[in-house]
């Protein structure tokens, strides 16, 4: 706790989808989303184990802030990693209906 670690989050764009590779502490994760779905699933890249998923809630008024439902299924990764992913994907307009 209270230690810094090196790592990176890399965006990988494909024809019909976008994914993010997350690497830190000798762990590799992948966050996958499809252009046709608002669900983003986060997997352990080596084990192909689903660790978490999130999606933007539907909103009726475009000026209201986007809210997310984040489900975490494992303690393998610090929660802050998932929050960073939501932040990055929201900023890029990939997770919500912006």
Q: Which residues pair with 43 in a beta bridge?
A: 30, 50
Distances (CA, A) of 12 to 21, 38, 39, 62, 67: 8, 17, 17, 28, 25
Q: What's the pLDDT tens digit per position in 60-90?
A: 777 777 788 999 999 988 898 888 888 887 7
Mean confidence (pLDDT) of the chain:
83
**H or E element, residue 98:** none
Q: Tell me the whole-structure pTM to 2 decimals.
A: 0.79
Alpha carbon distances (Å) from 91 to 4, 68, 84, 85, 98: 24, 13, 10, 10, 9
Q: Give domain limits for the chain.
A: 7-91
Tokens 């939501």 -> residue: 86
């Amino acid at each position: 706790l209270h230690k810094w670690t090196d790592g990176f989050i890399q965006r990988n764009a494909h024809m019909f989808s976008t994914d993010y590779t997350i690497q830190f502490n000798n762990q590799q994760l992948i966050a996958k989303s499809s252009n046709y779905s608002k669900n983003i699933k986060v997997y352990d890249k080596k084990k192909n184990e689903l660790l978490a998923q999130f999606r933007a809630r539907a909103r009726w008024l475009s000026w209201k802030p986007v809210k997310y439902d984040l489900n975490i299924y494992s303690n393998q990764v610090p929660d802050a990693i998932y929050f960073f992913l939501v932040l990055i994907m929201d900023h890029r307009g990939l997770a919500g209906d912006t």
